[in-house]
Amino acid sequence: MAKLIDGKKIAGEIRARIAQETASFTAENGYAPGLSVIIVGEDPASQVYVRNKKRACEEVGFASEVIALPAETTEAELVSRIARLADDPRVHGILVQLPLPAHIREGAVIAAIPPQKDVDAFHPENVGRIMTGHFDLLPCTPAGVMELLRHEGIDPEGKECVVVGRSNIVGKPMAMLLLHAHGTVTLCHSHTRDLAAHTRRADILVAAVGRVRLIRGDMVRDGAVVIDVGMNRDENGKLCGDVDFDTVEPKASAITPVPGGVGPMTIAMLLKNTLTAARLAAARERS
């Protein structure tokens, strides 16, 4: 029987701590940390994510706004909207919800966000900082996974860490954070020849591919820690991860559920990044 890693509870503890720290920040500075979230178009999943982010901001006492733009918004219009937020001293974090409509280049939009306000840590400058280990802001989902491991007393040092999925948002930065924590990291992807041969060697296995129940029990070694970043709908419309929980759970020593595992941690880390960005901006103003 695996220990169930309760991301919802751990995220709740982090949010409570951030709420306290936010109250101190606001009392000291006379303004609250501010996050602006931009959503372009009507993607239903994105709308749910953005609504959850806004609610989480309100709960901890941030000044947050959602800027909803029509799907026909041009790249130039979006970039100029970001430029206005970049110049606004009360906005400490800017998040553009992805995916964007096909006619807008994601790279051009991310590059328009000042790195100090880039609470997703997707800007090339922040990506570079993550490579070297000199970062202030970390991408929310991989940071959330590291926080879960820390909370559970699972230290990647010297362990075989296998990440499945090489996205810019999760897989690549996840591999880098595990490497910084002195894990021996293997990054698997759709062209990996024998996926199971790699996953079976993992002490810590992180699945982040977006494929319904890809990782089955026979692909996991006894006692592995299994972190499921997937957020998929199965053939019956049921929310499920990249891990086949029923066959993997009996072999794992610890496992995250979907929902209630990594997902809630992502939002907690967004709050943490926004507070960090606000603190750094306040420190720059003072100096």
- 25 is written with which tokens? 């920040």
Q: Which residues contact 172 (CB under 8 A, 6 or more apart)?
A: 166, 187
- 142 is written with which tokens? 């991989």
**Residue number, nearest CB to ligand GUN:** 98
State the nearest-atom distance from the C-beta of 45 to ligand GUN, in Å.
Answer: 8
- 176 is written with which tokens? 């880098």
- Pick the catalytic residue: 118, 120, 228, 242? 120
Q: Judged by CB under 6 A, does residue 67 bind ligand GUN?
A: no
State the nearest-atom distance from the C-beta of 283 to ligand GUN, in Å.
Answer: 25
Active site residue 218: no
**Segment 185 to 224, residues that bind ligand GUN, using CB under 6 A:** none
Q: Judged by CB under 6 A, does residue 138 bind ligand GUN?
A: no
Nearer to ligand GUN, 25 or 49 (CB): 49
Active site residue 272: no
Q: Judged by CB under 6 A, does residue 120 bind ligand GUN?
A: yes
C-alpha 158/C-alpha 204 separation (Å) is 11
Q: Judged by CB under 6 A, does residue 98 bind ligand GUN?
A: yes
Widest distance between CA atoms in the chain: 57
- 17 is written with which tokens? 């701590």
Q: Which of these, 90, 15, 74, lies nearest to 265 by C-alpha position?
A: 15
- Given a contact cutoff of 8 angstroms between Cβ atoms, the answer to whether 212 and 244 are in contact is no
Q: Which residues bind ligand GUN (CB under 6 A)?
A: 95-98, 120, 140-141, 169
Catalytic residues: 53, 97, 120
